[in-house]
A and B are shown apart, each in its own frame.
Chain A
Amino acid sequence: DIQLTQSPSFLSASVGDRVTITCRASQGISSYLAWYQQKPGKAPKLLIYAASTLQGAVPSRFSGSGSGTEFTLTISSLQPEDFATYYCQQFNSYPYTFGQGTKLEIK
């Protein structure tokens, strides 16, 4: 199985901050990576697919980059509604796997 390791696992930040979350794959996955945002009691919401393509209606302060084994999710200016848990997920090979999550908390 392809392991996805996110860093950090916990992140404390303030409104207006720029934050970056990293996702590292145990082997190359080309650009078959998606990012999701999950709020308590809710299903994950797709933010980015194919490593860098923004899903429709997702604010442009979210961006993704990377290919191969290293990927990043950046939020350029944190808004109050962005405090949530973020997961990366690979579609390169079965079984599909997710990172362990990064919980973004208000400082």
Chain B
Amino acid sequence: QVQLQESGPGLVKPSQTLSLTCTVSSGSISSGDYYWSWIRQPAGKGLEWIGRIYTGGSTNYNPSLKSRVTISIDRSKSQFSLKLTSVTAADTALYYCAREDNDQVGASVAFDIWGQGTMVTVSA
């Protein structure tokens, strides 16, 4: 069973760049026809989709964050990464990576596998 694990600094200073990596294990990020997403959740609040990347490298971002977000993939390491620039306290959240499963015609239908999440706090 494929597993995802987020990693990265737990504390980032305001105006700096948040960088996280998601490592795919017990399977390759390149096997299968999947998109890989980042999702965040401020403490005690709901879930916000940040963006996604296809195995082939194409990306889609949430317009609310698009100007600050870059998602990239390193197939050789079976990893994908998130960079969020110019962070503020509003970016403090639990960040999850997740795999998008799709149906027979290739439409995304669910986030079927999630990492355990990594907490990022933005503070001086």
Most buried by A among B103, B110, B115, B116: B110
Q: Are B111 and A87 in contact, with the CB atoms below 8 A?
A: no
Please list the residues of chain A having a beta carbon within 8 angstroms of any beta carbon in chain B. 1, 32, 34, 36, 42-46, 49-50, 55, 87, 89, 91, 94-101
- Give the residues in chain B near A97, CB-CB below 8 Å: 49
Q: Are A44 and B111 in contact, with the CB atoms below 8 A?
A: yes
B105 CB to closest chain A CB (Å) equals 12
- Mark the stretch among B7-15, B17-25, B59-67, B80-88 that contacts chain A: B59-67
The CA-CA distance from A32 to B56 in the complex, in Å, is 23
A50 and B103 contact, Cβ closer than 8 Å, known pairs A91-B110, A95-B63: yes
What 9 pairs between A and B have smallest CB-CB spacing? A49-B110, A43-B114, A95-B62, A96-B49, A98-B47, A34-B110, A49-B109, A91-B108, A46-B112
A34 and B111 contact, Cβ closer than 8 Å, known pairs A43-B96, A49-B101: yes
The CA-CA distance from A94 to B65 in the complex, in Å, is 13
Q: Mostly helix, strand, loop or mixed at chain A's interface?
A: loop
- Give the residues in chain A near B60, CB-CB below 8 Å: 94
Most buried by A among B60, B64, B107, B109: B109
The CA-CA distance from A87 to B116 in the complex, in Å, is 17
Q: B33: CB under 8 A from chain A? A: no
B67 CB to closest chain A CB (Å) equals 14
B27 CB to closest chain A CB (Å) equals 16
Q: Are B109 and A95 in contact, with the CB atoms below 8 A?
A: no
Given contacts A95-B63, A98-B48, 8 further A-B contacts (CB under 8 A): A43-B114, A44-B47, A49-B101, A50-B103, A55-B110, A91-B107, A91-B109, A97-B49
Scan B96-123; emit 1 where CB is below 8 A from any A CB, else 0.
1000010100011111101111000000
- Give the residues in chain A near B64, CB-CB below 8 Å: 95
Residue B46 contacts which of A42, A95, A101 (CB distance < 8 angstroms)?
A: A101
